[in-house]
Chain A
Amino acid sequence: MRLSNIVRLYRVRLRSRIVQELFAVVGIAVGVALLFSSQVAGTSLDGAVRKLTSGIVGQMRFQIAARDAHGFDAGLLSRVERIPGVLTAVPVLEANANVVGPQGSRSVDLVGTEPRLAYLGGSLVRKLGTSQLGRARAFMLPAPIAQQVGASSLQPVKLQIGARTVSSLLVPELLAPGSGVLGESPIAIASLRYTQRLTGMKGRLTSIYVRSQPRRDREVLAQLRRLAAGRLNVVPADFSDVLFHKAAEPTNQSTSLFSAISALVGFLFAFNALLLTVPQRRNLIEDLRLDGYTRKMIVEVLLFDALILGVLACLVGLALGELMSVELFRADPGYLSFAFPIGSERIVTWQSYAIALGGGLLAACVGVLVPLRRDLFSGLGHLVETPEPRIRDRTGLLLAGGTVCLATTIFVLTVAPRAAIVGIVSLAAGLLLFLPVLLDLAISAFARLQQVSTGASAYLAVIELRSATNRTRSIAIAATGAIAVFGSVAIQGARVDLQRGLDASAHGIDSLAAIWVTPAGASNSFTTTPFRNLETSAIARQSGVRAVRVYRGSFLDWGERRLWVLAPPRSAEHPIAPSQIVSGDVASATAELRGHGWIVLSQALAVEHHLHVGQPFVLPTPQPTVFRLAALSTNLGWPPGAIVLNAGDYARAWANEDPSAYQIELNAGASASAVSSEIRQSLGPRSGLRVTTSTQRQQLHYAQAAQGLSRLTQIRTLVLIAVVLAMSAAMGAAIWQRRIRLADMKIDGFGRGVLWRALLLESVVLLGAGCSIGALFGICGQLLLSRALVVIGGFPVVRAVDVSVAISSFVLVTAVAVAIVAVPGYVAARVRPAIGLQDR
């Protein structure tokens, strides 16, 4: 069929269904927007780290890296350079630093290297070679970060590194030639020698990047491993991408899951709108077939409908998604920035566009074609005066399918929680299969209630709810609410469980001491930056101070995981909070941790390395040490996992006695805030240390946990808004299309009030039934996801079936949707009876 004729057919029919088509565009656009923005959030997170890594390592193939912040002797560089097959070896020193300017401070990854890396490495360090920075006593910072801290060019700013505070000249990147490469990466670049001076690590390196000659990788790798002697890590140059991907996995997975549910809601929204146009399209198909159009031609006509709908929806959806990804999802999960330098740059890949566009077009095609499949592929038998075919009762089939899905979910929940995604999908499928039956039950219950009432409204509502002509639309509307409330309750419930667990974990760690003295800077929230041991007698002399103890901590790369290491003092009452132990005896584990050579590992880590309680194993620390496993714990809120040992054992295994924090214990009755002020004064203004009370740290960690999970709450809010709009729009449009029948009823003597109440009752039953069924299934989903968080991620989860999330979602969606529907219902109920007598 000619394209121009298809376009003509589309155009002439559009006027009569433009409102419904716009509803459908909005529905699909909502799904596309959520899909796109969550994709962008994910790629920005991974992409920012990847960009930073490649920007530094460039063409380098391997790195030999230290296992802690103290690094290794720079003499290793010449030994690496002498390895046959090594083309280039470039030394790097990295350290956490806090840049303090006139208007604020910002944590950055201070990278010190040599100008020659500029010619071999990535774009980020290129300016070391092109500018004079390689020889200057200054460091370069991305312009946006320089602006944030209020520092201008060649102005001295403070750098807090460990317990030191030093002054340095700042060169904002914008002033350098070819500006803008650093983007918004939290990174500061300086020459190696100057960085060593700033950090007080003269003659030390944290990594050496290596480029080998062609086809000599294996040989070089073997020699690097020999030099590392099991005390340094030999990994690909861009290995931090792998480590980050592992750490960000739960965030990306949860966002994807919610996005899929959002997309489904968006599609149901569109499907509802498209159902409004089904009678008209059905008539069109019937006529075109009688006129001699082939099925292929009719499918072409319908596909063109879908294409226009899909393209428009995708354009609107991408624009909306762009806005959402900038305004809503831009904030990175802050907790990951403690271990990785994550920029807030937005990275949009072609895959994000492809997924969003593909999803939108698919939704449009399915939405247009599926309701009409019978009209397209069956005969025109309904035009013939033949006996009505027997209506197939599908209740049994639906129940059987739903039962299989539920059984699958229960199996996953109890036996195979690692297959949580399968469980959630089967639960959602079960919900959709059970929905028609449960909806019928709800309508029957309402009909029984109606029998005891004398009002005509309830009677009319029951008639409409039971009407076969409204059935598909009723199920679609109820399904929209059910899926949205299901997703909202399941994920929000799991989020609340996780938040409680993270708070409990933070409480357990932070309450180890009344006051904490740690290096400043947001990146040190996990107390992982070591600093030179101070003379603590001044702190100990403060009134109210009972004891000053050393706490050690850091990140340790083991396999593909960057682990959080916590080493509280031996004397700590609970080196690990009892609530975080998932396997092993709490009392004996506590006693063992206070002894020598015992360690607690996150369960997921132990499973990965096939370790069990009591088993000895070698921990790959700077000084590889044998430990015995005292117990298994949660991941303490850090997705890759955590290790707990005592500070003494840490010093032995890391071959270093530097603390990461001082824990201050107070005498009974001493005020933590008063003592902390005194300690702050005693440390003086040039100290790079921060003094916080246990309560302040808890508040900070609660806020960080909430921020890390905030994206889920944001998506949930958007889904609920979308579903309220979807349900009320579909219900409103359905009511509006029924005006002639309402006019007939008016002719029969029903009053305006009766009709309006009937419409409202019908809406309440339909929307309420859908949402309550969704809420019930959502509670099951919450159990499933919370269990998966424990089993797969090893997260600290406090599981509690809290029906408040379910009730609030159900009441909110139903009440708001019914309130919106009341308006078109009221207008429709005012229809003039004369309309019922006019030509139809």
Chain B
Amino acid sequence: MLELRDLVKHYRSGEGEIVRAVDGVSASIAPGELVALYGPSGSGKTTLLMLIAALLRPDAGAVLMDGRDISELSDADAARYRLHELGFVRQSLNLVPGVSALDNAALKLLGVDIGAREAHRRVMPLLERLGLRARAKHRAEQLSMGERQRVMIARALSTEPKLLLADEPTGSLDSARSREVLGLLTEVCRERGVSVMLVTHDPQAAGYADRVHALLDGKLVDYQPDLAFVSAAGAQ
């Protein structure tokens, strides 16, 4: 479904040096597959996600989604691609304060041409599935961190995307909550046949992934559990 072909993305640092954030990455994800991507801080993980989300254009290579190169899309088409085919879950929990979990989860659906009532109708089963039925009417600040992250997952999945990109989704959670969120995330995605690319430096996540890759200095390398522990330690 998703294929990365020799992706390259370089930056120029403040001192004028070339930083190879993504350096010839090739990989693929099959429908319904969950791939974890490990890497220490600064290894290029988020850049890779941005390239897949068509938020950055690669210097070389291609990002093929069902055979279509999304790096060639116009800004408007890229936005449509993110709206309908992609879900994005981030570490930072930008729920709108003062607003209910239901409304927060329905935010993405408002971008699709449907009304608020329909958006609520569509997102409610997701919230239920994520264990938030009783909390749907609670305001963002009344939710725990784990619940907030589940709202973000519901929001990402609300438009029924093919691919979910999760950037350190458990970064601000304790290990019990991390397990809970990761468990729900994988279950819900498998049920719906959604592919997931999970960027993490949490070694626990390996247990949830079908395949695990490692990213080091912008290059994809074989995953070694030791590397995961090193990167986890490094991140702390």
Contact = CB atoms under 8 A, between A and B. Distances in A.
Contact of B42 (A15, A283, A385): A385
Contact of A290 (B75, B76, B90): B90
Contacts of B159: 292
Interface in A369-393: 379-381, 383-390
Contacts of B156: 291
Contact of A5 (B47, B83, B94, B116): B116
Chain B interface SS verdict (over half): mixed
Interface in B73-123: 75-76, 79-84, 86, 88, 90, 94, 96-100, 103-104, 107-108, 110-111, 113-116, 119
Given A4-B116, A8-B110, A291 B83 contact: yes
A216 interface: no
A596 interface: no
A288 B111 contact: yes
A380 B75 CA distance: 13
B45 interface: yes
Contacts of A296: 76
A295 interface: yes
A287 B14 contact: no
B11 A387 contact: yes
B107 A386 contact: no
Nearest to B92: A283
B45 A293 contact: no
Contact of B56 (A287, A295, A384, A387): A384
A290 B53 contact: yes
A16 B98 contact: yes
A292 B96 contact: no
A289 B55 contact: yes
B44 interface: yes
Contact of B11 (A4, A9, A386): A386
Nearest to A15: B98
B83 A293 contact: yes
Nearest to A391: B14
Interface in A196-253: none
B26 interface: no
Given A8-B110, A387-B14, A287 B116 contact: no
Nearest to B43: A385
Contact of B82 (A16, A290, A386): A290
A292 B94 contact: no
Contacts of B45: 385
A5 B117 CA distance: 10
Contacts of A16: 96-99
B94 A385 contact: no
A175 interface: no
Nearest to A381: B56
Nearest to A294: B79
A13 to B, nearest CB: 5
Contacts of A154: none
A2 B113 contact: yes
Contact of B88 (A8, A290, A384, A386): A290
B75 A295 contact: yes
B145 interface: yes
Contacts of B80: 292, 294
B110 A388 contact: no
Given A292-B80, A297-B111, A385-B46, A380 B88 contact: no
B163 to A, nearest CB: 12
B115 A2 contact: yes
A551 B53 CA distance: 90
A834 interface: no
A287 B94 contact: yes
Contacts of B96: 12-13, 16, 280, 284
24 contacts: A4-B115, A4-B116, A5-B114, A5-B115, A9-B110, A12-B99, A13-B96, A13-B98, A15-B98, A284-B96, A289-B79, A290-B55, A290-B88, A290-B90, A291-B111, A292-B79, A292-B86, A293-B83, A294-B75, A297-B111, A379-B55, A384-B47, A384-B50, A839-B144
3 tightest Cβ-Cβ pairs between the two chains A and B: A292-B83, A292-B82, A16-B98
Interface of A: 1-2, 4-5, 8-9, 12-13, 15-16, 280, 283-284, 286-297, 379-381, 383-390, 839
Given A12-B96, A384-B56, A385-B46, 4 more contacts: A287-B107, A292-B79, A293-B83, A296-B76
Interface of B: 11, 13-14, 19, 21, 41-47, 50, 53, 55-56, 75-76, 79-84, 86, 88, 90, 94, 96-100, 103-104, 107-108, 110-111, 113-116, 119, 144-145, 155-156, 159
